[in-house]
Every structure is written in C-alpha cells, then in structure tokens.
Amino acid sequence: MSTIDSALNRRDFLTASAALGCTFGNTRAMPPSRLAPDVAEQPNSDASLADNIYTRLLGVRPHLGAHEHISRLGGGRMSRDVLNAMAEANEYFVDMRELNAAAGRRAAELLGAEAAMITAGGFSGMILGAAACLTGTDEVKVAALPHPTWERRECLIQTAQKFDYDRAYRAAGATIVYADTKADLEARVGSSTAFIAILSASERQGIFAPPFAALRAPPPSPHLIPHEELIAMGKRAGVPVLVDMASDLPPWPQLDRFIKAGADLLVLSGGKAIGGPQSSGVLLGRRDLIDAARLNSTPNDNIGRGMKVGKEEIIGLIVALERHAKTDHTADMERWNMRARRIVDRLQGIPGLTAIYTLNTAGYGDADLTWDEKNIPLNRDSLRTALTNGSPRVELEVIVTQDRGTTTWHATARTRVLRDGEELLVARRLREVFTGAKRAS
C-alpha cells in the first residue's frame, strides 16, 4: 500500500470515528440498544393482536396462548431483561469458543451440575448428548458419526417411554433397542450399550405429553421402571444414563432429583420454563461427557455443526438462568393459578358446559372445561376452528373421552404463558364460542 493510500485510509477512518462520536485514541463506546420499559411484559389486547409485527410484515395473526410452552405454537416469552441483554450482546464480537466455555461454566454453577454447555434447544441437546456417549473424545469416532462402526453404539430405552423425539438418538447414529420389562432391560445392557435414555415424565404419567388434568391422567404403564432404578442400573454396568427433561419443569425439584440420583447427562430446554430464547437449551452433567459433546458440536465441523447458538441467544439464556435462580416459583405458580380461576369464574352459567378449576399432574391449576357434544355441538375440530377464525385467536388443548356411547369433550385452558389480563380475553372468547354454539343447537 502506498503512503498516499495509507494516509487516505487513516483519514477516512478518523472521519468515520468522529461521525460515530469517537476520537482516535480516545474511543467512547456507543450506548447499547435498550427497550423502553413499556415495550415488553405488557398484556396483549384486541388492538395489539390485530396490529403487530407479525401482521404488518407477513399477515400472520398471533393467538392467545392458553397452552403449554409448545414449540409449534411459538414457545414461551422472554423477559425485558433477557431481551435487553440480547440487544446489548448484538453490539459486540466475541470468540465463540471462549463464550461457549464461559457460558457453560456459568450454567453449570447455576444449575448445580459438574459441567454444562449451551445447545440449540432440547432436541439438539439430545443429539449431542447421544453423540458424546457414542464417541467420547475419540476424534476418529467423532468424525465417523452418524455412522458408527464400533460395537458400543446402542441406546437402550424402556418401551413404556417410547416417543417420537427419540429419533434424536438415531440422528446421532445410535441404534435404539427397546426393552419391555426390568428383567428384559437388565439382560440387554452389555458391551453394545452406549447409553440408557430416560424420559423424565412423571411416573404418574409415564408418557411424553404436557401435564394432564390430575382427574384424567392416564394410569402409568405397569412396566415403567422408576428412574432412580434405571440410573442405578447404568452405574452398575458402567453405562451413561441420559435424561431428557426438556419440557418437564415444573415440578421444580425434578432437576435436583436427577442430579442427586447420579444421572450422567440431562437435557433442558431454554425457551420453556427457564424463559430464555426458544432456540436455546442446556446439556449438563459429567465433565468428560460435556467435553465430548463440545467436540461433536459447533464451531467444530462435526455432527453438531449446524446446531449453532448465536452469541445473543447464549447471553439471553444465561440472563434467563440467573433470573430463574432468583425466582419465587411458588409465587409465580400462584399467579398462573389465579388466572385459571378467573377463566373458570367467567365461564359459569353456560348451559351444558362444566368449567372447574383443577390441578394438573405438574402441580399447578388449569381451567378445565367439559361438555357433551349432544348438548353443545362442538368437537375438537369445530372448537379449534371457531377459536382460530375468531378474534382474538385462542389456542388450547382439546381431548375426547367416550363412555357407553356418550361423547364427552374436554378442553384445558392453561395460563402459564399468558400475562395478567390476557386470561380475560381468553375467557371472553371461550364464552362467545360456547354460548354461540349452544344457541345454534
């Protein structure tokens, strides 16, 4: 580069620095972005649900989430603190290896684990946890995934906990082996077993699903082996045990329960009860297995390369974990319960509809609705259509039971992802739909 070019480049740099409020040698940082206090954490209204970023940019109508933190319905919500932290993180560049290592250390401290790493959601954590159990830190094996050629490549799952998401273990390269009984499972643990996978659904439930109304919870499988027994079985055989509890907070003691029981790896979702970004999660557990999972993950060019978590999401999740550690979960749950009671109160007096407040299998309250289709001509599809096509949109869970030729429908209005005041909009819309169907019958 010539002397003239160098002088021009330096002059251009100084001009740009001055325009940004900086002086060469005396740099003043630009203030990070901040959200105004009233931008976040306000309840939606009829007006905001009709005119928002989704409708203006894409013509997509949001709904009121009278449901769980369900990914296909948008997941959860982040606090203003989390959003502000992510906006500030956007203003800087960092070495992602350093950031991942530091964030993992802090997540482990906050969650009471030996080690941890940030993942791109719960499913990503399952893949990386499985990969860690398959390969350890053997770089030749890491490069071979998802096509392991060595003997120890089986994932053992009790049949009572078979569910769709266990395909994550197959995606890592594991061969899934199901076992029906405890004796069958013990007989199958051997030199081919890379890990045992557990779904941390409550023993009262035994299957992968959102919490049920306690009065309608299905009976557990008689073959369901208590989780502590499975973990102890893995310890005796020298086989890691991976627990998927991405969706299983609350109940809040679940995490400590599995850590104390000696689970080798645990998978958490960051965007559900923790309140972090929807596309984030945590894999935590034994240090050697977390080291192996990191080797399989981004920024290394291995099986987890595409499971990136942005620097902003990492910071957002850590701030959410900090908040989670300080949260009064009992008070938080009582706010959910009060919203459910308000919905129930506003749905009284509709002929043919029974609305009660009841606890679910996770220990918090729902608005539970029951009706006979002969009295109120609504079923799962017609109710969902009415709630989706109306204004405001509402999404909730609807199930059916049949007894002696009578078809009874049940809907659950859940309030944990709502904000105070939104439950009144949910109740108003439900009342409109049920009374309208009753008048039309």
One fold for both 80-326 and 329-440? no
Low-confidence ranges of the chain (pLDDT < 70): 1-40, 201-210, 402-405
> For the CA atoms of 257, 258, 260, 266, what is the dihedral angle to 10 degrees?
-140
Q: Which residues pair with 199 in a beta bridge?
A: 244
Q: Domain residue spans in the chain?
A: 80-326, 329-440
What span, in angstroms and rounded, lies between the C-alpha atoms of 427 and 423?
A: 6
CATH fold of the domain at 329-440: Aspartate Aminotransferase, domain 1 (3.90.1150)
* Domain 80-326 annotated CATH 3.40.640.10: yes
Angle between helices 422-440 and 329-345 (to 10 degrees): 30
List the one residue out of 188, 186, 275 whose CA is nearest residue 236: 186
Sheet holding 406-413, edge to edge: 353-359, 365-372, 406-413, 397-403
Q: Look at residue 137 in the predicted model and tell me its pLDDT.
A: 97
Check residue 217 and give its pLDDT. 76
Query: pLDDT tens-digit profile of 419-429?
Result: 999 999 999 99
In degrees and rounded to multiples of 5, residue 15 shows phi and psi of -65, -45
| Residue 403: per-residue pLDDT | 60
Q: Give residue 12's pLDDT.
A: 46
CA 41/CA 37 separation, integer angstroms: 9
> What confidence score (pLDDT) does residue 440 get?
79
**CA 371 from centre of chain:** 31
Distances (CA, A) of 179 to 63, 150, 160, 183, 209: 41, 22, 8, 9, 21
The pTM is what?
0.87
Question: For every residue of 87-137, which 3-state class applies, written as one string?
Answer: HHHCCCCCCHHHHHHHHHHHHHHHHCCCEEEEECCHHHHHHHHHHHHHHCC
Mean pLDDT of the chain: 88
Q: Give the pLDDT of residue 30.
A: 42
Structure tokens at 264: 């080798």
- The pLDDT value given to residue 17: 42
